Structure 1
Amino acid sequence: MNIAFINPPFFPKYSRGSRSPAVTKSGTVYYPIWLALAAGVAEKNGHQITLIDAPAEAISVEETMNRLANFNPRIAVIETSTGSISSDIKFAEEVKKKFDNVLVCLVGNHVTAVDKDTLKSSNLIDAIARNEYEATIVELAERLEKKESLENVLSLTWRNGIEIVANGHRPALTQEDLDAMPFASEIFKRFCNSRDYFFAAGRFPQMMVYTGRGCPYLCTWCVYPQNFYGHTYRHRSPQSIAAEFKYIEENFPEVVEVTIEDDTYTVFKKHTIEICKLLIEQNNKLTWTCNVRADLDEETMHWMKKAGCRLVIVGFESGSNEILKLMKKGVRVEQFTAAENARKAGLLIHACYMMGNRGETLQTMNETLTLAKRLNTDTAQFFPLMLYPGTEAYDWAKKEGLITAKTWDDWLTPEGLHNTVVGTHDLSAQEIVDFCNYARREYYLRAAYFSMKAKNIIRHPSELKRTLKAFLTFYKHLFSKESKANTDKFKTRLSHDKDVTTEINGEKGLNNVVKKSSEATVIQKETVV
């Protein structure tokens, strides 16, 4: 059966597969890794496949349709995202109208969270494969080939006449299932150009892989564990992971780095070190990056460095223990040892900070900026909270009436950039965005930062090119008149808040002195009497 896997046309370089889908100022574009893995499994089960990544190639609806016409799909698997869903549905409808007998199936985090509502919005969409969908697509194809009912195809929401039916949930894939899959990079080799993809913190060109699925931590805003693959971490075997590194090295001569996109690659220390040992044994020549926890130990980092790791991405998120507790981060500021341990191991650090979480105030955001300056990592990003349906953070904001968006389209700006759609009880959405811009400028335009970068470039000369490219990318944002005015605004506000706090503390101190003086007088009188 012909099965087409499609990342549909939208804005050129729209990164639909990332955790916060958008056109990014940094130029980051994710590989269509979930489509590729599902395509590989479908092909392994005897089906003919094609994969089209329209945003990465910057191709039009017309060109996409022409490619599909040459393939003539029986099933069209279409990737979706929150901000692009209106366009995704429109494209799906056009596919349905153009190809006789095609079954249109949407996939992705957004439609997993709002499956029935999505099907209600268009009678031309046949089904939604929820969560991890490799096995669901294969079973769907088998049912169509045998002309059997779609009942009991697990994790499928489908249209049965005028009724919309949500079948039961499919159990999570096991390590054996993950190891049995073709490498995503094998599919990328045939259908994607590595130069169409970019990761701002990485070297170019790079290749993206997943070595495991699920995250045991409970961060309220994180979309993939809550919507897609759950909180149980299941990883591929070290042998499978090392083999894909070797495959990339041998088949993509232009690729210089691998981006490991697991939410938390280093969940199990022993497993991580086993991978490192295998990479060392096979004389791995590719550098790599990965996401790690803010309290990762030094020993693991030393093994990672020996195995070719260049940079770790750390989600510190907040400098306030109260905010960390409310977001269920599962770690306190005092436990943030990853930055220091990475330096000791010789690894670079890209730090992630998030503003606008539950309970956020101007003071707690400034605490986060203070933490970022103290950690002084190689690079840092300051992002407003990005909410997506299906997450605990979204449910909280919706219940509190804090979401400003009227439609899903509002998740993006007219240019396809991120748009902040939620504030807090103390801050508007725009104030949070403005503070992120202020924090970015305050962080990068510091003598301590320039000194650290100079030392890093001396130790890692290959970082000079990447540093210059990043600087040129953000130059206009850091030095514009609007940026300077924004900085002046927040410095004034923070100075005023500091003065008010000092005044309040002063009044409290004076009141305490008066109170103690009065108490002393009373005691003295009582003693005299």
Structure 2
Amino acid sequence: MRVTFLNPPFLKNFSRPQRSPAVTKSGTLYYPMWLAYAAGYTEAGGHAIDFIDAPAASISEDVVIERIKKNGSRLVVVETSTPSIYNDVNFSGKLKEKLGREGEEVFVVLVGTHVSALPEESLRLNTAVDAVARGEFDATVRELADALEAGQELESVAGLWIRKGEKGEKGDEILHTGERAPLADIDQLPFVSSVYKKFLDPHHYFNPNALFPMVTITTSRGCPHRCFFCVYPQTMMGHKLRNRSVDNVVDELEYIIANFPEVKAIFFEDDTFPANKKRCIAICEEMIRRNIKISWTANARVDLDQETMLVMKKAGCRCLCVGFESGNQQLLDTMKKGITLEQSRTFMEAARKTGILIHGCFMVGLPGETRDTMQETLDLAISLQPDAIQVYPVMVYPGTEAYAWYKQKNLITSKDFSQWLTPSGLHNTVIQGENLSAEELVRFCDSARKKFYLRPGYILYKFIQMIRHPTEIRRTFKSVRTFAKYLFFGSDVQKESLVQDS
């Protein structure tokens, strides 16, 4: 059976797969990684696949529809996000309308964080949508393809929300087929980079924290930590950490080096790559043993110790993306971050000693936030002196504790999910603080960004960095080209959150 996996048309360079979807100021564009994993798993189950990333490749609606018509797909898997959900379901309706008149009707299933949090509500947005695959959807989609090909009832496929009606017809009733347990053995997933190789161009994707061009993979699923704002663990992957084996991970690195000669870096998009210290060291030591020579970046937490960092650096780690979040301990505790300010300072000292660059993430508008605590956050950012920062008002998404808290406090300023973006597609602030307006939060972020980046010492540091490490030049200028106008001229007219790339 032919299955098309679709990151649907929307705004150009709309980065739907990232934790906070938008068109980003820094030019960041994420690989559609979770969709690609499911595509590879479905292909491994015996189905023919096509894969379309419309925003990255600037493919129009008409071209997408014509391509699906030509390839004869019976099942289309459509990735969604909160700010694009109305576009996504409406495009699904257009797709069904234009393809349903000829031959067998196309079955459309929605996937992603938003529909996982609001499956029934999402189905009711457009009756053309046939189903939602909730949560981690690799096995759900493959079994759905099996059932459709065999003409079987879909009630047997766990993880779906479908329309129930008489045989051959849709009804108004929404049926949940039961929860699906996450994959226990994720080594059984094909290399996601093999799907990229067949269908995607690495030059379309960019992350300012990695050398360009790069490939994004993950070595684990699930996050054991409980940060109240983080969307993937709360809506799709869960909090139980499931790891790929060391050999499986390093085998994929060898595959990437052999098959992507133009690629300069790997981005490990695990929620926390060194969550298991012993395993992190084992991966790094195996990379060293096999003489893997490629730069890489990963997400980490401030509880990472210098001993592990030294091994990571030796294995090629260039940069770590780290959530410092706030300069106030009480706010850190309220958001369930599970870190201390002292850990943040100790971590940065260790990073400087090992020579690993740090991209620091900070946010404002948290429960209990005041003007004083925002200043504490800026003071912390400047004192830590990471290589780069992002400072933004909290972005809240359905399915997270943060969304529930702000909604219960009547601090979400819109019920229209399209308002999560500005007219140009940038992040829009849809929350306000208990004692701070959305506009004030945005103004602070504008000011904080300028105070950090326009320091003479920081500008000198970046020039010296590019002179000493010429590989940094292409990445830096690619990021600055899009980011500079926001740095110097501020935010959109709307209340925009200034998230760069997370």
Assess same fold via TM > 0.5: yes
Of 142, 147, 152, the match for 1:143: 147
| TM-score normalised by structure 2 residue count | 0.93
Amino acid at match of 2:17: G
Amino acid at match of 2:200: C
Q: 1:331 to 1:128 in 2, by over 3 A?
A: same
Deviation at 1:459, TM superposition (A): 4.7
Within-5 A mapping of 1:411-426: 411-426=420-435
Within-5 A mapping of 1:451-490: 451-454=460-463, 456-457=465-466, 459-480=468-489
Of 178, 183, 187, the match for 1:173: 183
What is the identity percentage for the equivalent residue pairs of Structure 1 and Structure 2? 49
Give distance in 2, aligned partners of 1:276 and 1:243.
Answer: 13
Greater displacement, 91-100 / 51-60: 91-100
SS at 1:276 equivalent: helix
CA deviation profile, 1:166-188 (whole Å, cap 9, x unmatched):
122111211x3x11111110000
Q: Which residue number corresponds to residue 202 of structure 1?
A: 210
Deviation at 1:11, TM superposition (A): 0.4
Give distance in 1, aligned partners of 2:84 and 2:154.
Answer: 28
Deviation at 1:343, TM superposition (A): 1.1
Q: Does 1:338 align with 2:338?
A: no
| TM-score normalised by structure 1 residue count | 0.88
User: Would the aligned equivalents of 1:72 and 1:99 in 2 still touch at CA under 8 Å?
Assistant: no
CA deviation profile, 1:204-245 (whole Å, cap 9, x unmatched):
110000111111110110000000100111110111110111
Q: 1:433 to 1:95 in 2, by over 3 A?
A: same
Amino acid at match of 2:34: W
Q: Does 1:232 align with 2:240?
A: yes
Within-5 A mapping of 1:129-528: 129-161=133-165, 162=171, 163-174=173-184, 176=185, 178-336=186-344, 337-454=346-463, 456-457=465-466, 459-480=468-489
Greater displacement, 444-453 / 429-438: 444-453
Q: Which residue number corresponds to residue 117 of structure 2?
A: 113
Q: 1:24 to 1:188 in 2, by over 3 A?
A: same
Deviation at 1:455, TM superposition (A): 5.0
Deviation at 1:59, TM superposition (A): 1.1
User: Would the aligned equivalents of 2:83 and 2:420 in 1 still touch at CA under 8 Å?
Assistant: yes
Give distance in 1, aligned partners of 2:367 and 2:72.
Answer: 48
Q: 1:349 to 1:232 in 2, by over 3 A?
A: same
Q: Which residue number corresponds to residue 92 of structure 1?
A: 92
Deviation at 1:448, TM superposition (A): 3.5
CA deviation profile, 1:149-174 (whole Å, cap 9, x unmatched):
21142111111112101122111211
Q: Does 1:76 align with 2:84?
A: no
Greater displacement, 46-55 / 438-447: 438-447
Amino acid at match of 2:403: Y
Q: 1:110 to 1:218 in 2, by over 3 A?
A: same
Amino acid at match of 2:213: P
User: Would the aligned equivalents of 1:249 and 1:255 in 2 still touch at CA under 8 Å?
Assistant: yes
CA deviation profile, 1:403-451 (whole Å, cap 9, x unmatched):
0113111111111111110011111112111111110000112234235
Amino acid at match of 1:219: C
Deviation at 1:473, TM superposition (A): 3.5
SS at 1:151 equivalent: helix
CA deviation profile, 1:31-84 (whole Å, cap 9, x unmatched):
111111111111111101000000000111011111111111111100001111
Give distance in 1, aligned partners of 2:304 and 2:464.
Answer: 23
Give distance in 2, aligned partners of 1:147 and 1:359.
Answer: 55
Deviation at 1:453, TM superposition (A): 3.4
Q: 1:229 to 1:180 in 2, by over 3 A?
A: same
Which runs of at least 4 in structure 1 moved beyond 4 Å after TM superposition? none
Greater displacement, 9-18 / 64-73: 64-73
Q: Which residue number corresponds to residue 515 of structure 1?
A: none
List gaps (5 residues or longer) in structure 2: 166-170, 492-502
Q: 1:479 to 1:103 in 2, by over 3 A?
A: closer
List gaps (5 residues or longer) in structure 1: 484-529
Greater displacement, 366-375 / 89-98: 89-98
Deviation at 1:458, TM superposition (A): 5.3
Cα RMSD of the aligned pairs, angstroms, is 1.4
User: Would the aligned equivalents of 1:65 and 1:95 in 2 still touch at CA under 8 Å?
Assistant: yes
Of 108, 111, 118, the match for 1:104: 108
Q: 1:476 to 1:102 in 2, by over 3 A?
A: closer
User: Would the aligned equivalents of 2:123 and 2:131 in 1 still touch at CA under 8 Å?
Assistant: yes
Give distance in 2, aligned partners of 1:307 and 1:106.
Answer: 39
Q: 1:361 to 1:36 in 2, by over 3 A?
A: same
Amino acid at match of 2:206: F
Give distance in 2, aligned partners of 1:474 and 1:49.
Answer: 36
Give distance in 2, aligned partners of 1:34 and 1:135.
Answer: 12
Give distance in 2, aligned partners of 1:278 and 1:401.
Answer: 51
Greater displacement, 386-395 / 403-412: 403-412
* Pairs aligned (count): 480
Deviation at 1:20, TM superposition (A): 0.4
Greater displacement, 467-476 / 215-224: 467-476
Give distance in 2, aligned partners of 1:470 and 1:39.
Answer: 30
Deviation at 1:463, TM superposition (A): 2.2
Q: Which residue number corresponds to residue 131 of structure 2?
A: 127
User: Would the aligned equivalents of 2:25 and 2:486 in 1 still touch at CA under 8 Å?
Assistant: no
- Greater relative CO, 1 or 2 (CA 8 Å, sep 6+): 2
User: Would the aligned equivalents of 1:314 and 1:338 in 2 still touch at CA under 8 Å?
Assistant: no
Higher helix share: 1
CA deviation profile, 1:441-472 (whole Å, cap 9, x unmatched):
00112234235435544553422443344444
Give distance in 2, aligned partners of 1:270 and 1:474.
Answer: 38
